[in-house]
Amino acid sequence: MILHESCKDDSSLIVEKQYSSRLCSPSLRCTSESVLDSTRLRNEDKRKKELLLRSRIAVCLVGGARKFELTGPSIAENILNVYPNADLFLNSPLDKDSFKFSIFKDIAPSIASIRIFKPTKLDETEFQRRVLTPSGSPNGRQGLLQYFNLVEGCLTLINAFQIQNNFTYDWIVRTRVDGYWNAPLAPDNFLPNDHYLVPSGSRYGGCNDRLGIGNLDTSQIALSRLSLIPQLDAAGFRQLNSETAFKDQLTTQGVKFLENRLPFCIVSARRLGFPPNGLPVASMSSPGPLSGAYCRPCTPICVGPCADDIMAILPSWSRIDGENGTLQFCDAHGEWESGWENNFDRFAGEKLVQLRKRVIESKFEKCVKDFDEMKKRTVNWDAPAATHICGIVSRR
């Protein structure tokens, strides 16, 4: 694993941590040193994992359900089932896809809090207008505020649960509902010494804000996306996008942050030209890790040397960290291609395929029953009636 320079910010701690486990080609004999290194690293990972399994971990997911039939099972398989001691928190706006959350009944080991709410427009203050720019956000400044409100809502849910149960979490993992994971979240991503972890790449001038992992203290700062805007305003920051606001938020509060490549991407229906002149869209079949880059289940149009050439011409602010065939690109200028389900099923694996089909084929009565059963398993429940959530889809 390599922990990269932290969002290219000289004021933050820079740590380069390389584990040089030597690969043995058929023509070379493995040395005893390389075997010992490999054994040592496996033992170290095992110790870290055992410690994490004895820790209190909160996993908070934010955002709309959109393609949750694709992302939800992958989150369960690669985060929730890897750390079955973790408590799940969900903060999501109600929409026509919210019925898909019923799958949590079968895939989430421990559900602490579910909040599905009817979204309303947020008032914009003068300091928010000064600090945040609408440029580059699909839904303008209002979209940024809605996202920040979702993220900070994690703190509200988690703090309430801690008070209710008289304990504090050791770790908080915050990520997005629309993230597709193709490999487990490794123990090395839980950093010691009050360091906060963010994904590498897709920086957009600041820090990739599509996932964050830290202890309770650093997470309280990192997740306070709305509350800390007045302090950014007082410090003189102006016209920031989400990523630059996130970086400046961490920096001004003295949080040391590190980057690492992480095995997830953000499933998106955004239409972006090819070859990309700014925003690349990766195929979900890419070996990765994609570290939160935009993706879709396409037939890759550009792989190998072609992908390397594309990466070479992308601006640094939108670049995905990857090489040696780990990236495959889509032509995303139009809608998802016909037959995308077959593309997904080919690389996702039988378990995720079955869950995808179960979500999409769920009938109204089954959806209501699953939500009611999930509610019984959930400690704190703040959501409309199951009949309402499941009924929206029938009116599409």
Q: What is the pLDDT of residues 214-272, one digit of tens each?
A: 999 999 999 999 999 999 999 999 999 999 999 999 999 999 999 999 999 999 999 99
**Is the preceding omega at residue 289 within 30 degrees of 0, hence cis?**
yes
Q: Taking the domains of the chain in order of start, what are their residue ranges?
A: 51-264+351-392
* CA dist., res. 11 & res. 189, Å (int): 21
- 5: buried, middle or exposed (CB in 10 Å: 19+, 13-18, 0-12)? middle
Phi, psi of 105 (to 5 degrees): -55, -35
**β-pairing, 179-181 with 264-267?**
antiparallel
Using an 8 Å Cβ cutoff, are 244 and 206 in contact?
A: yes
pLDDT given at position 41? 76
Query: Which residue is listed with tokens 């378990």?
Result: 351
- Confidence label for 17 from pLDDT (cuts 50, 70 and 90): very low
DSSP, collapsed to helix, strand or coil, labels residue 111 as strand
What pLDDT is attached to residue 42? 80
**CA–CA distance, 308 with 320 (Å, rounded to integer):** 11
Identify which of 66, 7, 41 has the alpha carbon closest to the alpha carbon of residue 266. Answer: 66
Per DSSP, the three-state class of 200 is coil
b/e burial code for range 269-290 (CB count within 10 A of at least 16 → b): eeebebebeebbbbbbbbebbb
The yes-or-no verdict on residue 145 having pLDDT over 90 is yes
Taking CA atoms, 206 is separated from 7, 65, 201, 240, 369, in Å, by 6, 26, 10, 9, 44
- Identify the residue with better confidence: 281 or 41: 281
118 CB burial (10 A radius; 0-12, 13-18, 19+): exposed
Helix (H, G, I), strand (E, B) or coil at 82: coil
pLDDT: which is higher, 202 or 128? 128
The Cα 343–Cα 88 span in angstroms is 29
Q: Please, what is the average pLDDT of the chain? A: 90
The 10s digit of each residue's pLDDT in 154-185 is 999 999 999 999 999 999 999 999 999 999 99
Residues contacting 32, CB < 8 A, separation 6+: none
Tokens representing 103? Answer: 């799958």
359 close to 103: Cβ distance less than 8 angstroms: yes
CATH architecture of 51-264+351-392: Alpha-Beta Complex (3.90)
Torsion sign across C-alpha atoms 336, 341, 344, 346: negative
Residues 383 and 23: their CA atoms lie apart, in Å, by 51
Among 130-134, 194-198, 385-389, 391-395, the minimum mean pLDDT is found in: 391-395
Question: Under a CB-based contact definition with an 8 Å cutoff, are residues 128 and 148 in contact?
Answer: no
Q: Are 250 and 209 in contact (CB under 8 A)?
A: no
Contact assessment for residue 304 and residue 365, using Cβ atoms and an 8 Å cutoff: no
In this prediction, residue 35 has a pLDDT band, given cuts at 50, 70 and 90, of: low
